[in-house]
Structure 1
């Protein structure tokens, strides 16, 4: 592919419904070739908080909805513990197609991080979502989303859980991706979950003030 960009595939009507329909035809990068479908964001178009992950996973690719796999289960639990109703947030990903490679044995598909060209190619979809939802709070889930949106020097390990200045929204924060909690050693998983919930409670506080 000579030019990587989703720009030509965005519809004139930038409503969320129109965007969600149009993204299925996107060939702005090569990821569409091996993905089952594009996975657009979901949630209230007037959500006060938008959560942005890296890309769909295996389950998301098959089912067509964001954060419905194991990491989505962790996110649901953390939101509930933080006092945030998932129905009140908008969840999406930086990249809309699943990038994967086959496992050495069997049929399992292994996640691969989208490269910089793929991230940039897909950015118009995310920008359109931000323009439509206009959230008060944006939460970047994981290093890929955080560095794409807040700068390559951003370090989630150092700067997670605090609000930073950004044109994305009045309040912008990065925290870990819920999949990192699944990967944590057994003896560290509970503490990792507590820290994740603590970050989301800061988001809940801002949302309550803005409601």
Structure 2
């Protein structure tokens, strides 16, 4: 059995079973130290028959507290963009490249602020989204940011400056949102 020092989730990922088996196994993952400070594992959500997969970076504060992906501000923004793009959320499986919330505190006992996972932490979690892809077999996959792109496509993945930034943290949020909407429309056309 691997230890946390090995930085890999692979020993925790079951070879068999569907999404419920993966979700249960992910709750016990100790493939890197991120699980220590997180409230819980935040696994993907949606049906195994989903036609499109949306992959974000990592859970945020609200996702960590609720145990569900995309329920915080980024989730509300994504819901708006899905509706505008004509994508039915029931046809989408949403997940993150990293399954635990990495954060720093603004001040002791204050709000938890998102901190980007390292390449090593992202790679350690890589077997989870790979297993989700294997179980869901989506038609298009939409990566939501550079971390998700690197997790799925390798460390050489590069996005444009705006497209590689989360919409909520972008300097020009409107331009970043238009980029997200444009990408979701491409996915919607692919499903039509």
1:183 counterpart = 2:166 = no
Q: Residue 190 of structure 2 aligns with which residue?
A: 206
* 1:66 aligns to 2:69 (yes or no): yes
Distance 1:203 1:100, change over 3 A: same
Is 1:24–1:37's contact at 8 Å kept on the other side of the alignment? yes
CA contact (8 A) 2:126 2:151 kept: no
Scaled by the length of structure 1, what TM-score is found? 0.83
Structure 1's unaligned 5+ residue stretches are 161-174
Structure-2-length-normalised TM-score:
0.90
Runs of 4+ in 1 over 6 A off after TM superposition: none
- Once the two structures are superposed, the pairs formed by residues 7-22 of structure 1 within 5 Å of their partners are 7-22=10-25
Q: Which runs of 5 or more structure 2 residues have no equivalent in the other structure?
A: none
- TM-superposed CA distance for 1:6, in Å, is 1.1
Question: Separation in 2 of the partners of 1:30 and 1:151?
Answer: 22
Structure 1 residue 190 displacement after superposition: 3.2
Does the residue aligned with 2:160 lie in a helix, a strand or coil?
helix
Aligned length: 189
Aligned ranges 1:159-198 → 2 under 5 Å: 175=163, 180-185=166-171, 188-198=172-182
**1:81 counterpart (76, 79, 84):** 84
CA drift at 1:194? 2.5
Q: Does 1:110 align with 2:113?
A: yes
